[in-house]
Amino acid sequence: MDKMNVAIINYGVSNLYSVQNACNKVGLTSIITEDHDVIMNSQIAILPGVGAYSEAMKNIKLKKLDKSIFDFISTGKPFYGVCLGMQLLFEESEEFENCKGLGLIKGNVVKFKSNDKEKLIVPHVGWNKILFRNKNYIDSVMNKNKNDDFMYFVHSYHVVPTSKDIELTSTKYQNSIYCSSILKENITAFQFHPEKSGDQGMKIFNEIKDRIT
């Protein structure tokens, strides 16, 4: 098999093919795989995801993809998480029951909560703005994006990183302002779906491509 630009890690969730289509659109060769060697031999790995946290972690462990993820990240090559794939990188989620995550990023995953002034509607579905939190965005694959760019979101839970330093963007949803992307060393992850975010999302995929070609 020819060496792939991108390994899209398959642990039995949806949105695999929409991520692959985005890769194809910018000219990245990609493969949907759960094979350790294929993942390790790729230049980039993407952990996508839509669905339940506990089921996702169960599948990851069953397929021994946690080892593949840890091993790949340890190489220093670029690793990306999308939506649930971002949340799985954290230590724990309160979804359904407290469920341990991969623990690569310190922090937890919590549900959007209403307050006395406003009842929060969940899930958060649709287009929303991003706001850059620190100057790290210049070094990230979002460096062609701008404050107030609209991205597409579908989620009921959001991450709360222990360190604010890794927060790349935040987003306001009704009464809640939350972390919507992170950057830590070779890990970049998005709560939104860049593959479903039109031209603004494709800027990210183009930048991913430009950094390896």
User: Which CATH number does the domain housing residue 202 bear?
Assistant: 3.40.50.880
> Which tokens sit at 190?
């998005």
Exactly one of 83, 99, 124, 167 is catalytic; name it.
83
Checking if the pLDDT of 84 tops 50, the result is yes
Checking if the pLDDT of 112 tops 60, the result is yes
Q: What's the rounded Cα separation, in Å, for the pair 22 and 26?
A: 7
Give the residue-averaged pLDDT of 72-96. 96
> Mapped to the 3 state alphabet, what secondary structure does 83-116 carry?
CHHHHCCEEEECCCCCEECCCCEEEEEEECCCCC
> Which tokens sit at 69?
């993820």
100: containing domain = 6-210
Catalytic annotation present for 23: no
Checking if the pLDDT of 133 tops 60, the result is yes
Q: What is the pTM of this model?
A: 0.94
Catalytic annotation present for 94: no
Which residue, chain included where needed, has tokens 């339940």? 52
Q: What's the rounded Cα separation, in Å, for the pair 125 and 61?
A: 29
> Residue 1 domain-assigned?
no
Q: What is the pLDDT of residues 162-213, one digit of tens each?
A: 999 999 999 999 888 999 999 999 999 999 999 999 999 999 999 999 998 5
> Residue 133 domain-assigned?
yes
For the chain, how are helix, strand and coil distributed in percent, rounded to 5?
30, 30, 40
Question: Hey, CA dihedral for 18, 20, 23, 27, is it positive or negative?
Answer: negative
Q: Show Cβ contacts of residue 33 under 8 Å, excluding neighbours closer than 6 positions.
A: 7, 8, 9, 10, 39
184-196 burial, b if ≥16 CB within 10 A, otherwise e? beebbbbbbbbbb
Exactly one of 95, 99, 158, 195 is catalytic; name it.
195
> Residue 206 domain-assigned?
yes
Contact (Cβ atoms closer than 8 angstroms) between residue 102 and residue 89: yes
Catalytic annotation present for 179: no
> Residue 61 domain-assigned?
yes
Task: Look at residues 21, 68, 81, 75 and name the one whose alpha carbon lies nearest to residue 43.
Answer: 75
Exactly one of 94, 167, 193, 207 is catalytic; name it.
193
Q: How many domains does the chain have?
A: 1
> Residue 113 domain-assigned?
yes
> Residue 190 domain-assigned?
yes
